[in-house]
C-alpha cells in the first residue's frame, strides 16, 4: 500500500510538471512572437535604382589604380575620335576645339585665342584645373558635366576608354603631372616585396642544397663505410 501511495504521488507530481511545462511552451508559442528574419516579399532595392545611379558608382573608383593599369597605346587610338576638332601635338593650333597639348594640369579654358563658351568660362572660375577625375567626368558626358558647353561630342561611355585616353593625354607634356598616389601609401607594399624576394632567394638556396643532397643519395645509395667495394670486385 505504501508503495502504491508513493506511486500515485509521484505520478501526480510528474503530471503537474508536464502540464506546467506544456503550458509554458504553449504560452511561449502564443505570446512570444519574433518578427520574420526576412520579409515575406523580399524587395531588391538595388534593382529598383535607375541604371544611371549604378554608373555613377564607378566614378569614385581609385584613379591611381586605374591609371596605373592604363594602356597608353589604346588611349592614343581613342584620341583619334577627338582629332576632328582638337590637335594634340606641341605647338599645334586650335581647331573647332582648343589645342589639347599639355591639357592635364592646365587651367580650364586657358588656351589663348580660343573663344570658349560662357559655360566653360564659368566652369573655369575659381581656378579649376583639368585633372584626371574631372577630365573623366567631362569626357563621359560633356553636356552633363558642363551644361551649355560648345563641345558637341556625345561622350566616352566606356571607363576603360576614358582612363586609357587620359593616361595618354598626361604624357603629352614636357612636364607631365605626377601620377596620382594610390589611397594607401605604397611604402609597406614595397618593403613586403623586398621581404618576399629575400625569402624566395633563401628558399632557392635551400632547395638547391636539398637537391644536391638527394642527388648524392640517389647516385650513392650505399653507405660509405667500405661496403661499396664488393660491387667493384
Q: What does the binding site for ligand HEC look like in residue numbers (CB under 6 A)?
A: 81-82, 84-86, 96-98, 100, 103, 108-111, 116-117, 119-120, 130, 139, 149-153, 156
Give the count of alpha carbons within 13 A of 38, CB side only: 5
DSSP single-letter state for residue 71: -
221-225-230-231 Cα dihedral, nearest 10 degrees: 20
**Closest CB 129 distance from ligand HEC, rounded Å:** 9
Q: Is 70 left (phi over 0), alpha (psi -120 to 50) or beta?
A: beta
**Closest CB 103 distance from ligand HEC, rounded Å:** 5
In the bound state with ligand HEC, the residue whose beta carbon lies nearer, of 149 and 167, is 149
Q: Check: CB of residue 136 under 8 Å from CB of residue 168.
A: no
In the bound state with ligand HEC, the residue whose beta carbon lies nearer, of 97 and 163, is 97
**Closest CB 183 distance from ligand HEC, rounded Å:** 26
In the bound state with ligand HEC, the residue whose beta carbon lies nearer, of 66 and 151, is 151
d(CA 103, CA 126): 17
In the bound state with ligand HEC, the residue whose beta carbon lies nearer, of 105 and 180, is 105
**Closest CB 148 distance from ligand HEC, rounded Å:** 7
In the bound state with ligand HEC, the residue whose beta carbon lies nearer, of 76 and 180, is 76
**Closest CB 189 distance from ligand HEC, rounded Å:** 32
**Closest CB 159 distance from ligand HEC, rounded Å:** 13
Q: Check: CB of residue 80 under 8 Å from CB of residue 172.
A: no
DSSP collapsed to 3 states, 145-210: HCCCCCCCCCCCCCHHHHHHHHHHHHHCCCCCCCCCCCCCCCHHHHHHHHHHHHHHHHHHHHHHHH
In the bound state with ligand HEC, the residue whose beta carbon lies nearer, of 137 and 182, is 137
Amino acid at each position: 500500500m505504501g508503495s502504491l501511495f508513493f506511486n500515485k504521488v509521484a505520478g501526480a507530481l510528474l503530471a503537474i510538471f508536464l502540464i506546467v511545462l506544456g503550458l509554458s511552451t504553449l504560452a511561449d508559442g502564443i505570446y512570444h512572437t519574433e518578427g520574420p528574419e526576412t520579409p515575406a516579399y523580399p524587395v531588391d532595392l538595388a534593382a529598383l535604382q535607375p541604371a544611371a545611379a549604378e554608373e555613377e558608382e564607378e566614378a569614385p573608383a581609385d584613379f591611381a589604380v586605374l591609371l596605373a593599369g592604363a594602356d597608353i597605346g589604346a588611349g592614343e587610338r581613342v584620341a583619334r575620335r577627338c582629332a576632328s576638332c582638337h590637335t594634340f601635338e606641341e605647338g599645334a593650333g586650335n581647331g573647332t576645339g582648343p589645342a589639347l597639348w599639355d591639357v592635364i594640369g592646365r587651367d580650364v579654358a586657358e588656351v589663348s585665342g580660343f573663344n570658349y563658351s560662357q559655360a566653360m568660362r564659368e566652369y573655369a572660375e575659381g581656378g579649376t584645373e583639368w585633372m584626371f577625375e574631372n577630365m573623366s567626368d567631362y569626357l563621359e558626358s560633356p553636356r552633363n558635366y558642363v551644361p551649355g558647353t560648345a563641345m558637341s561630342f556625345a561622350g566616352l561611355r566606356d571607363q576603360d576608354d576614358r582612363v586609357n585616353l587620359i593616361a595618354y593625354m598626361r604624357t603629352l607634356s614636357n612636364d607631365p603631372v605626377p601620377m596620382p598616389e594610390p589611397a594607401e601609401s605604397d611604402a609597406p607594399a614595397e618593403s613586403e616585396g623586398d621581404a618576399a624576394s629575400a625569402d624566395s632567394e633563401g628558399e632557392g638556396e635551400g632547395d638547391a642544397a636539398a637537391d644536391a643532397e638527394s642527388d648524392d643519395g640517389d647516385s650513392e645509395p650505399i653507405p660509405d663505410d667500405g661496403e661499396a667495394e664488393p660491387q667493384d670486385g
